[in-house]
Amino acid sequence: MILPKSIWLLLAEKQIITQLKTDISTPIQFSTETKLTSEECTQLVDWIFANEKTYPALTSWLDFLRRYRITFTDIAKGMGRWNDQSSHSLGHDKWAVGWASDAMLPLANALYALKSFECNGTVLECGAFKGSSTACLSLVCEELGFDFDCADSFEGLPSGEGHYGKGDFLGTLDEVKNNVANFGTIERVNFIQGWYSDTLKVYNKPLALLWIDVDLQESTIDILDNVYDNLLPQAVTFSDGFTEGVDFVDKQIANTGGEPAGFYRYFVKNKIPYCSAPGGSKGLAMISKCDLPDMDFTVPPAIISSIIERL
């Protein structure tokens, strides 16, 4: 679970969670102790909502999430229309909205938490389509003061892979700019146009959050090859394309297909230690740096979905 510093400290002070390190320096806590059982997770969420009026840290955090729940839902409604350029074989790009609504809240939560730990790197989005996740992130980055880069070909997918075809998920730069101007904060977004294998070669900004929604294994590798080293120690990576119970084996990513296979190949080839888990929305994975193999998430990341349900 990714939590703001004030909430980790509160949970430690009230001994709701006992195995925290005393020097809390990251929004994700790892531990060698047994992680919370599902019953303990439920108790934790109950405690948070029972005490939200008592502790200002809880009030501010939940208010933030509630506010973005409404904003992201409005973005989905505002941008929601049929995509007359749809070309995907199974119609996955028929609807112009990819990520918005509650599905984007785990990323907003992560940014709120990263800010509280003064992790001030850039937010990099790879995969814009018509710009719904771009609009959502532009608003959060504007409020919290993160620089925000949106990288895409703006020509759709580069090649076929599985059921995907070249040019699927096309959103032109003009279309995306227009949507972000209408539903987000266009001034906050730096657009990087072109194929990741070219544009990200020269990318040199330290990253607080990396958001990958590119469908293809090869595109995922092009991104990771060029920017994974830019992630700050506290940074978090989110990716689309993961199925719970299929793409995660313990805390590792399975070599299935699409984005998961891209991560798998990159991490294995470069012998990079990491922890991954369902990120709190359908299809979402959360990946975090973790140097010791016997460490695990103190609180499972997916708990954010229980909190979102109860907002």
Ligand X SMILES: C[S@@+](CC[C@H](N)C(=O)[O-])C[C@H]1O[C@@H](n2cnc3c(N)ncnc32)[C@H](O)[C@@H]1O
Give residues in contact with ligand X (CB under 6 A).
98-99, 127-130, 132-133, 152-153, 156-158, 169, 171, 195-196, 213-216, 219, 222
Which residue blocks in the chain are alpha helix, DSSP H?
5-13, 38-50, 56-79, 105-116, 132-144, 173-183, 196-199, 217-227, 258-270, 303-310
Q: Which is nearer to ligand X, 5 or 88 (CB)?
A: 88
30-31 vs 296-297, strand pairing mode: antiparallel
- Shortest spacing between CB 284 and ligand X, in angstroms: 11
Q: By C-beta, is 58 or 151 nearer to ligand X?
A: 151
SS3 of the chain: helix, strand, coil, percent, to 5? 40, 15, 40
Question: Number of helices (H) and strands (E), helices first, in the chain?
Answer: 10, 11
CB of 39 to ligand X, least distance (A): 35
**By C-beta, is 142 or 225 nearer to ligand X?**
225
Phi, psi dihedral angles at 279 (to 5 degrees): -90, -5
Q: What's the rounded Cα separation, in Å, for the pair 211 and 139?
A: 15
CB of 37 to ligand X, least distance (A): 34
Identify which of residues 102 and 296 has a Cβ nearer to ligand X in the complex.
102
Euclidean distance between CA atoms 164 and 175, whole angstroms? 22
Residue nearest to ligand X (CB): 98
Closest CB to ligand X among residues 219, 306: 219
CB of 207 to ligand X, least distance (A): 17
We find the least distance from the C-beta atom of residue 243 to ligand X, in angstroms, to be 16
